[in-house]
A and B are shown apart, each in its own frame.
Chain A
Amino acid sequence: MQRDLGSFPLPPALRAKLIGCGFHTAEDVSAVRASELSKEVGISKEEALEVLQIVRCKKFGEESQASTGSPSLRKCTALELLAEEHSQGSIITFSSALDEILGGGVPVAKITEICGAPGVGKTQLSIQLVVDAQIPKCFGGLGGESVFIDTEGSFIVERVAGVAQAAVHHCHLIAESGQDEAQQEAIKEFSVSSILSRIYYFRCHDYVELLAQAHLLGDFLAEHRQVRIIVIDSIAFPFRHQLEDLSLRTRLLNGLAQQLIAMANDYRVAVVLTNQMTTRFGEVCSSLVPALGESWGHAATTRLILHWEGKLRFASLYKSPSQKEATVPYQITNCL
């Protein structure tokens, strides 16, 4: 393969030396042994070995892409994807109107963004979702664990316990009215303390901690394979006050979004982000738009905007690849 050496992730100093000695393509390098390479180029044997491993592993990876390859390079047909999407399920919100417009609930392996004015119910919805992700499979849930990354400090355990209590009660009612044995079994395991013990909570005080946590989340998810939802509440707060450099902010946010999408796909988790609203000053009047800028709007797959109209709360599906735009009313009660 006539691939140029410059396209491999080699340390720049090494690359400069290799090019200086006349090695330009991958083929030139892979034909030589490690000890010969080290003598010719004037680098240590370990470095030469490293170079060869990178070059060879990339080549190998490209050739065998058709057969197996790493998970992120896999090719598949649309039929396979359809089967996958059906089997994945989604996380219900206990509000049938919301579930309807979302197409069954919050989808797994996608990023959903919830925007809204202060006090409209974003944190409440996030808390509802982390509890709902744990509903056992026989009741229509995913039976998984949840990760809650809190940047604002609105996660109050008493409220979560209340929501969990309502969910347990709801499932009890279903189990009692039905005859399903599996449900009777599952209900014994499903209690407030078991729900609380499976919510993993991280408190990030600024954007650096959030970025650090995002780097480590991959390993965390690999250890805790049962996690089905990650909620970040909110992603806007840390990025809105400490960063004056807007281009840095855009770059960091994009990087974060890419990491989250990769994690969502690799580990089959639903990612839910909460965003704030900001005022855009127009010619005549100002309007409320989601914060973090235009480019952030591309990061989320689905966007749900919560707003007030009169005395009622409404949720609008603003952006979705598969569902129609719709607006439905909802209420916050003990459970949503």
Chain B
Amino acid sequence: MATKMLKRTGLPLDLCERLSKYQIINCRDFLSVSPLVLMRLTGQSIHKVYSLLKIVSKACAPKMITALEMKTERCSNPSIAFFPTSLAELDEILHGGLACGTLTEVTGPSGCGKTQFCFMMSVLATLPISMGGLDGTVIYIDTESAFSAERLVEVARCRFPDYFCTEQELIKMTKKIHVYREFTCFDVLRRVESLEDDIISKGVKLIIVDSVASVVRKEFDTRLQGNLLARSNLLSNEAATLKYLAEEFFIPIILTNQITTRMGPREAVCFQPGSVADDLPLSEGRGISPDGETGYATAALGNTWSHSVNTRLIMQYMDFDSRQIIVAKSPLAPFAMFIFTIQNSGLILQEMTNTRGHLFKVSGRKFKGDSEVKTTEAIFWLRVQILDFSRSEFAALSTPALPEISQC
């Protein structure tokens, strides 16, 4: 819309000719210039300039829709608004699953399960709608060469053994997943910008970019002057294009990110699990620099990128086998944390058991404690520190990293 040529907006043609001599050819150029300069360029009075501005604005402004119309459109449209992840508790918290038309980011330390999650979602997207899928094709942009077709087939076979009982079904499923390997930032950006044609021709219902961070961090060293700005620009452009695609075609987009350590004074560290009952000094164990500042791990790619994604799921280690997935940012869901393991069939949520037998007061809802309390429905209103543990370090710790809730 911004690049709509002035000739097609309803302005008189001779005016368009005159403006093109000053390199003003589309709506963006016209609206970026101040009214006084426009007066000079067009040779018109100020009132005429205002009416010209209105004509051009009408040509590229968005259409108005009331919220009620949006809702009825969503209800009447047979396509679903949320893409179920097949992890039941997670879907419940997210009001149905990953919201279509938004960007969902999955972040976590290496080896945590982000790529496994992507495989699982790819398989799910190819399933028919009756089974909780999207009945469409998948575009998988792989920047780390981590895509393994064998693993994909294994997940499909183990998770849905009845559906994928024949070779034929498997072949059909794998044909629906299109993998693009891009190894530089520029390639990724170009691929993303050219996705529109593929989406229409192939009936794409899910786009996965795994991972956004690896190429960007390879190419942009933020210690160098000017690189931070260039990196933010690139990421914002990518985010804007992906958002446009997501909304235009109403499909979910999954992106993966990495973890970085941010150095800062201890007070600035906002996320402290169990600071109420401090038997797990996790924050103190991490990277204390010589200046006495501690580092804490957060999602990579900076603040601007954090603003661009709509939903953020953080994965981290708990102990050898189990990991946590945390809903950190969502327009719909409160904070929640779930424990999962990775098995043959992909991600499996574990039931959270606590052997303490205390009453937990969580945002006004009380759960009676037995000797073993099943807290699958408990919603933890905590902000959990994102920990950058590798497996070997975890083995050295004696207690598991389950955050302590205030006991009463």
Contact = CB atoms under 8 A, between A and B. Distances in A.
Nearest to A195: B67
27 contacts: A124-B331, A148-B67, A152-B243, A153-B247, A154-B331, A156-B331, A156-B332, A160-B67, A208-B28, A208-B31, A208-B32, A209-B60, A212-B27, A212-B58, A215-B53, A216-B57, A216-B61, A234-B307, A236-B307, A241-B237, A241-B239, A241-B240, A241-B304, A242-B237, A310-B270, A310-B272, A311-B383
A202 B62 contact: yes
Contacts of A118: 303, 306-307, 309, 312, 329
A201 B70 contact: yes
Contact of A213 (B57, B95, B99): B57
Nearest to A277: B303
Greatest chain B CB density within 10 A among A204, A219, A311 is at A311
Contact of B275 (A196, A234, A279, A310): A310
Interface in A230-275: 234, 236-237, 240-242, 244, 248, 251-252, 255
A193 B31 contact: no
Interface in A99-146: 117-119, 123-124
Interface string B291-308: 001000000001110111
A191 to B, nearest CB: 11
Nearest to B63: A202
Interface of A: 9-13, 50, 54, 117-119, 123-124, 148, 152-161, 193, 195-206, 208-209, 211-213, 215-216, 219-220, 234, 236-237, 240-242, 244, 248, 251-252, 255, 276-279, 285-286, 288, 308-311, 332-333
Contacts of B239: 241
A11 B270 contact: no
Which has the most chain B C-beta neighbours within 10 Å: A153, A195, A216, A237?
A: A153
A199 B324 CA distance: 38
A159 B246 CA distance: 19
B303 A240 contact: no
Interface stretch (B40-48, B162-170, B337-345, B354-362): B40-48
Contacts of A198: 66
A236 B307 CA distance: 10
Interface in B212-253: 232-233, 235-237, 239-240, 243-244, 246-247
Interface of B: 1-2, 27-28, 31-32, 34, 39-40, 43-47, 53-54, 56-71, 74, 81, 95, 99, 101-102, 232-233, 235-237, 239-240, 243-244, 246-247, 263-265, 268, 270-272, 275, 293, 302-304, 306-310, 312, 328-329, 331-332, 334, 363, 381-383
